[in-house]
Amino acid sequence: MSVAAGGLVTLGETLGLLVAEDVGPLPLIRGMRLSMGGAESNVAIGVSRLGVPATWIGRLGRDSVGDLIERHLMAERVHCLVRRDAAPTALMLRERRTATASLVSYYRHGSAGSHLCPEDLPEDVIEQAGVLHLTGITPALGPGPAAAVREAMRRARAAGVPVSVDLNFRSRLWDAATAAPVFRELAAGADMLFAGDDEARIALGIQDPAGATSEELAVALGELGPTEVVVKRGRHGATARIDGAEIDVPAVPVDAVDTVGAGDAFVAGYLASRLTGRDAHERLSTAALTGAFAVTVPGDWEASPRPHEMSLLVAEENVQR
């Protein structure tokens, strides 16, 4: 499978994922399900399932978990530009402590993914992309991954390739004070910026959780540079400011089984629609649908829909201006 020009290119760390099969304390469960997860690869899968070419760049260990990740991605028609590393592939363990609350443990220090560096970015792949998608997770992994993100962004902007950034704050990787200047740097280089309310406040240095509305956060983020800003509000929908226009999109009502991966599916729906020439309202409507699909089954990416499945969930409200 060759890299197709005009599609999505993304980079970052994908982890092996162990999920408890039962609800309850981890020492008492009967088994674990092995899968994979990673914000960037979740988006790549979501975009690919919607019929848009997607490429993921990363490092994996020379181990069975790395084999599993590459196999899954290739099965989802995501082109993998992978370097195998002597360090192990990272792992994430998810304990279903109650029916509605999960506890996550990471085993990623010194992992293969933390060794990502600018030299891992192949020539001409970013330059031929329709969109480069980055997250705020990768710079938190270490100096090499941070340099890779900056180099990817530099190359994309030099080539006129639109840059998408999802801030994706991870408190296990760094604190808000450390993340804030990096988030502002990413926002300044982005054309499209996605953030939750809390992530927007980190980037803007707002301490009070009630210090600004979603609309005000979107405007303030736009002043950092991006022309398309989407503040994701989970079950409350999303607020966007796109080319100066404010747009609200309600969430699609569904019975949530597992909310992990919903934000990535939302971004995938938006970017796939943008890459196929849809207008802002269609992008947000599609994003709301793909985000809703993500919560209907367990797993980070498994529920991402294909085009013929989109009608299975119908929004009760249209995008409102």
Planar angle of CA 131, 83, 79, nearest 5 degrees: 40
Closest CA to 192 of 18, 17, 43: 43
Residue with tokens 């979740």: 42
Residue-by-residue DSSP string for 237-283: -EEEEETTEEEEEPPPP---S--TTHHHHHHHHHHHHHHTT--HHHH
CA pair distance 201, 232, nearest whole angstrom = 13
* 264 is known as an active-site residue: yes
Question: Which strands make up the sheet holding 103-107, listed edge to edge?
Answer: 32-37, 15-20, 91-95, 103-107
From the candidates 120, 166, 264, 300, which is the catalytic residue?
Answer: 264
- Give the Å distances, CA to CA, from 305 to 76, 170, 268, 277, 286: 12, 26, 10, 19, 11
Residue 54: Cβ-neighbour burial (10 angstroms; 0-12, 13-18, 19+) = buried
The 8-class DSSP code of residue 67 comes to H
Active site residues: 264
